Chains A and B, each alone.
Chain A
Amino acid sequence: MPDAVAVSGLRKSYGRVHAVRDVGFTVGYGEIVALLGPNGAGKTTTLEILEGFRSRDGGTAEVLGYDPGERSSARELRERTGLVLQDIAVEPYLTVRETIARAAGYYRTPRGVAEVTGLVGLAGLERRKVRSLSGGQKRRLDLALGLIGNPALLYLDEPTTGFDPAARRDAWQLVRGLRTAGMTILLTTHDMDEAQALADRVVLLSGGVVVAAGEPAAVGGRDAERARISFRLPAGCTAADLPVPSHSANGMVVVETGMPTQALHRLTDWAIRRGHVLGGLTVERPSLEDVYLELTREVAPSRAPERIMR
């Protein structure tokens, strides 16, 4: 099956600022893909090119089989895509129901107003004026506007920024439900937990280029990285007594190993025989955030100067 979104060699400059230098990735039908990267990495510009808000300087882009830069097919593409932007942008004097019903009137095959209202958790608030809603409720209304056209592809630009943990979890549940129902979702986020929890694949951008892409559990060689076993040195022992090579960091003994099962077995066997306790014992692999920080730091010095772009 072809991809819902296919981008290659994408370029975009604002004057002398190269916001996007060379971006390529794909999003398969029914997939959730997260664009990650620091501010100024080119996430929003990439998204805006795909959404048809900005022209591209070079490269190819295809969204649901359409070229997003082609004006003649823009309306057809908008019939099939939904988007939720970062800003809360709703008319203050309409009610929740009116706001959703107005947007529904713009599509040929919208979802039901009541259905979408319930889906985003605004049932019971239909008659409330938008201006009296809380920030979180307005964002749900935004999401309802993204869904009302029954899109095949949904763009979510930092969808849970500013949510409390419970609201964030609800939003994740909703997004997973949409994917289960067959929707393709392309999102941007700064929240590594969110990427880990939602995305089938992540695309890591830095300085306008893709620096890594893959499943959240494997991106940047995470799964192949050495594990770190750390614990406090038992009283009366020196590092030389340990059965495996180690170093110390922040008052802890750290063992880095490509074979954590064996190393752990030898360590615990050694400790039990001698009657020692390995205080604060943890086994870690680099987190998505570690990978993110490392990969985006590498590119940082050559990064394009930031202007007003997000």
Chain B
Amino acid sequence: MTTAVAARERAGSPALPPAGKRSSLRLLAHQVRYEQVSFWRNPQSAVFTFIFPVVFVVIMGALFGGIGKGSYFGGLSALQYYVPTIAALSVLGSCYGQLAVALAARRQAGILKRIRATPLPARAYFAGLLAHCVLVSVIDIALIVVVGRLYGVPFPSHWLAIMLTLVLGAASFCALGVAVASLISNAEAAPAVAQLVLFPLMFISGTYLPIHSALLNRVSGWLPVRPFNEALTGPFAQHAGADWRDLAVLAAWGVAGAVVAVRRFRWDPRPE
């Protein structure tokens, strides 16, 4: 180590001030700020990721707003059912969908390589993305809850459980989004692949309609979307706290996604 330092001093490499203590937090805020600016100015991301779930809950409210509590919706009213599942859908879109598509596109354009050439640590880049995605999800869910209130769905009471589920779900689906972006090399294919995985998964997980097949429910219970739907539905509509079993399944998927992401993520558009 000393020899390396001596070599650098000989080499005339300029000494730089050490990184400050608060610098990681400031760096995170810096990253989130520019991710937010990019996101809101891009009509595609703003409309498809952000507006779509709000429009969806408005339409569902118009269609089924009058349907009261019943066994078809598991003892809930239609909108009590749809508010949390559409909230979950908005998290899927802003975390999984957004990252799978945006990272594949940024890699292909060489933007990731350019970022890799700066001193920005990889963990700061991903922490910034995660915080950005959580922020978008939180705003989206707040809007969905407000629309739900207009259709007579009461505000949820277990905020702590909701926040816990939301952050865990956002982190897990971000990890899965990065994993998918790591496995896709062609940015043009990214939106199709991401949707191809997501759409059937959401369907069998009851995002669009309640599923009354025990077999399907058992299968989807081990996949990431249904546990997330249920973990949100509990504290949203049934005044129940966190559902630990669902959260554990969700976390396991998040860890699996993170492992794939860490092992396979590439910054460079061309393979080594």
Binding site for B on A (CB under 8 A): 1-4, 14, 29, 51, 53-55, 62, 64-66, 73, 75-76, 78-81, 83, 85, 87-94, 98, 102-103, 105-109, 129, 145, 149, 152, 308-309
Residues of B within 8 A of A54 (CB): 272
A94 touches B37 (CB 8 A): yes
Q: Is B158 an interface residue (CB 8 A)?
A: no
Closest Cβ–Cβ distance, residue A236 to chain B (whole Å): 64
Chain A residues, CB < 8 A from B13? 64-66, 80, 152
Contact at A75–B121, with CB atoms within 8 Å? yes
The 8 Å CB contact of B113, one of A78, A88, A89, is A89
**In the complex, what residue of chain A is closest to B14 when comparing beta carbons?**
A152
C-alpha spacing A159/B59, complex, angstroms: 53
Q: Could you pull out 30 A-B pairs where Cβ atoms are within 8 angstroms?
A: A1-B12, A14-B272, A53-B117, A53-B268, A64-B13, A65-B8, A65-B10, A66-B4, A73-B4, A75-B119, A79-B16, A81-B117, A83-B117, A85-B110, A87-B109, A89-B110, A92-B42, A93-B37, A93-B41, A93-B42, A94-B34, A98-B34, A98-B37, A106-B119, A107-B119, A108-B19, A149-B118, A152-B14, A308-B270, A309-B270
Is residue B142 contacting chain A, with contact meaning CB distance below 8 A? no
B9 partner residues in chain A, CB cutoff 8 A: 65
**Closest beta carbon of chain A to B72's beta carbon, Å:** 43
Knowing A54-B272, A75-B119, A106-B119, say if A80 contacts B34 (CB, 8 Å).
Answer: no
Q: With an 8 A cutoff between CB atoms, is B55 at the interface?
A: no
Say how far B190's CB is from chain A's closest CB, in angstroms: 17
Known: A2-B10, A108-B17. A53 touches B34 (CB 8 A): no
Nearest A residue (CB) for B34? A102
Interface flag for B186 (CB, 8 Å):
no
Name the interface residues of B67-105: CB closer than 8 Å to any CB of A. Answer: none
Mark each residue of chain B from 1 to 29: 1 if its CB lies under 8 Å from any CB of chain A, else 0: 00010011111111011010000000100
CA–CA, A145 to B37, complex, Å? 19
Contacting pair A65 B7 (CB below 8 A): yes
Q: Does B256 contact A (CB under 8 A)?
A: no
The yes or no answer to B218 lying at the interface (CB within 8 A) is no
Contact A109 B12 (CB under 8 A): no
The answer to whether the Cβ of B259 comes within 8 Å of any Cβ in the partner chain is no
Query: Is the pair A2, B30 in contact by a Cβ cutoff of 8 Å?
Result: no
Q: Is the CB of A93 within 8 A of B12?
A: no
B20 to chain A, nearest CB (A): 9
Verify A87–B110 contact, CB threshold 8 A.
Answer: yes
> Is the Cβ of B111 less than 8 Å from the Cβ of A90?
yes
Instruction: Say yes or no for B239: interface residue by CB 8 A criterion.
Output: no
- Of B12, B19, B30, B268, which is within 8 A of A105 by CB? B30
The docked-state distance in angstroms from the alpha carbon of A216 to that of B227 is: 67
Question: B256-272: contact bitstring with A at CB < 8 Å (1 yes, 0 no)?
Answer: 00000000000111101
Q: A79 CA to B119 CA in the complex, in Å?
A: 6
Q: How far is the CA of A64 from the CA of B270 in the complex (A)?
A: 26
Check A80 against B38 for contact (C-beta < 8 Å).
Answer: no
What residues of chain B lie closer than 8 Å to A2, measured between beta carbons?
Answer: 10-12
**Smallest Cβ-Cβ distance to B23: which chain A residue:** A108
A-B CB proximity, top 7 nearest: A65-B11, A65-B8, A89-B110, A93-B41, A87-B110, A106-B118, A106-B120
In contact, A149 and B114 (Cβ under 8 angstroms): no
B41 CB contacts on chain A under 8 angstroms: 93-94, 129
When chains A and B are docked, how far (Å) is the Cα of A280 from the Cα of B96? 71
> In the assembled complex, which residues on chain B have CB atoms less than 8 Å from the CB atom of A29?
12
Interface residues of B in 110-128 (CB under 8 A from A): 110-111, 113-114, 116-121
Residues of chain B with a CB closer than 8 A to A66's CB: 4, 8, 13
**CA separation between A180 and B56, bound complex, in Å?**
61
* B11 A64 Cβ-Cβ under 8 A: yes
Residues of B within 8 A of A308 (CB): 270
Distance of A54 from chain B, by nearest CB (Å):
6
Which of A90, A106, A149, A308 has the most C-beta atoms of chain B within 10 angstroms of its own C-beta?
A: A106
B30 to A53, Cβ gap below 8 A?
Answer: no
Is A80 a contact of B14 with CB atoms below 8 Å?
Answer: yes
Give A70's nearest chain B residue, CB to CB. Answer: B4
B16 near A78: Cβ-Cβ < 8 Å? no
Bound Cα distance from A3 to B11, whole angstroms: 7
The chain B residue sitting closest to A309, CB to CB, is B270
* Set of chain B residues within 8 Å of A106, measured between Cβ atoms: 27, 118-120
What's the minimum C-beta distance from B30 to chain A, rounded to whole angstroms? Answer: 4
Give the chain B neighbours of A109 by CB distance below 8 A. Answer: 16-17
CA distance A92 to B34 in the complex (A): 12
Q: Which residues of A contact B116 (CB under 8 A)?
A: 53
Q: Does B14 lie within 8 Å of A102, measured CB to CB? A: no
- Cβ–Cβ contact A4 & B272, under 8 A: no
Contact in complex: A91, B111 (CB < 8 Å): yes
Find chain B residues with CB under 8 A from A103 CB.
118
Closest to A64 in B: B13
Q: Once the chains are docked, how many angstroms separate the CA of A139 from the CA of B66?
A: 58
Contact B118–A78 (Cβ < 8 Å): yes
Q: Is the pair B37, A64 in contact by a Cβ cutoff of 8 Å?
A: no
Please, what's the 1-or-0 string for B139-150, where 1 marks a CB less than 8 Å from any CB in chain A?
000000000000
Q: Judging by beta carbons under 8 Å apart, are A51 and B117 in contact? A: yes
Docked CA distance A29–B11 (Å): 9
